[in-house]
Amino acid sequence: MEQLEIAANRKWSLISFPDVIELGGIKDVDEQKWRNTLIGSIHSKKWFDNDEVKRELIRNWKIKNKFEFGKIADGIFSVKFLKDNDLHFVLNNGPWDIHGYIISFKLWDKDIILEDFEFPYFPVWIQIFGLPIERQMFVKSVQLLER
């Protein structure tokens, strides 16, 4: 039995791999490929079809230029824009929604691992009616401090 174990270990032992694998040749290709790209996350456990999400974004954004849309993982999408203006429009005019669920966007950042790409917050507009004048001054003070 021992000889069988030794033979199996010898046959199936893995060759050791280097600690570092150089990927330098693909660096420029990746940067060009991911330029003008946003990563979006739907803040919902509900599953949405890719085509459904893209249709909603087209309807919401009303931008003239086309964009590439792809699924990265469940609830996480990439959007590559042809024009810088469209990318900035989407970033600056959110939050956006897909059937009532918030989808937030961040600029792609090179060499980021998907698990490290977090969406802990998103911009929200709040409108308050009937706020007393003394409270309005407090709100304006907070706005100044946030800048």
Residues of the domain holding 66:
35-125
Residue 18 resides in a domain: no
Q: Is residue 74 a part of any domain in this protein?
A: yes
The predicted model gives 17-45 an average pLDDT of: 73
Could you say which DSSP state residue 40 is in? E
Q: What percent of the chain has pLDDT over 70?
A: 72
Residue 35 has pLDDT above 70, yes or no: yes
Give me the pLDDT at residue 85, please: 92
In-domain check, residue 72: yes
- Whether the per-residue pLDDT at 57 is higher than 80: the answer is yes
Q: Is residue 119 part of a domain?
A: yes
- The 10s digit of each residue's pLDDT in 82-110 is 998 999 999 888 888 898 888 888 888 77
The reported pLDDT for the residue numbered 118 is 75
pLDDT exceeds 70 at position 49: yes
Read out DSSP for 85-133? HHHHHHHHS--EEETTEEEEEEE--TT--GGG------------SS--H
Letter for the amino acid at 123?
Answer: P
Q: Over range 36-41, report the average pLDDT.
A: 89
**Per-residue pLDDT, 34:** 78
Tokens of 89: 């429009």
For the chain, give the mean pLDDT.
79
CATH number of the structural domain spanning residue 77: 3.30.70.330
138 Cβ contact partners less than 8 Å away, ≥ 6 residues apart: none
Domain membership of residue 42 (yes or no) is yes
- Tell whether 132 is covered by a domain: no
Of 143, 46, 54, the closest CA to residue 96 belongs to 54
* 41 within some domain: yes
Number of domains within the chain: 1
Q: Which residue has the higher pLDDT, 114 or 72?
A: 72
Q: What is the mean pLDDT of residues 38-51?
A: 87
Which strands make up the sheet holding 67-73, listed edge to edge? Answer: 67-73, 76-81, 37-42, 101-107, 96-98
Is residue 8 a part of any domain in this protein?
A: no
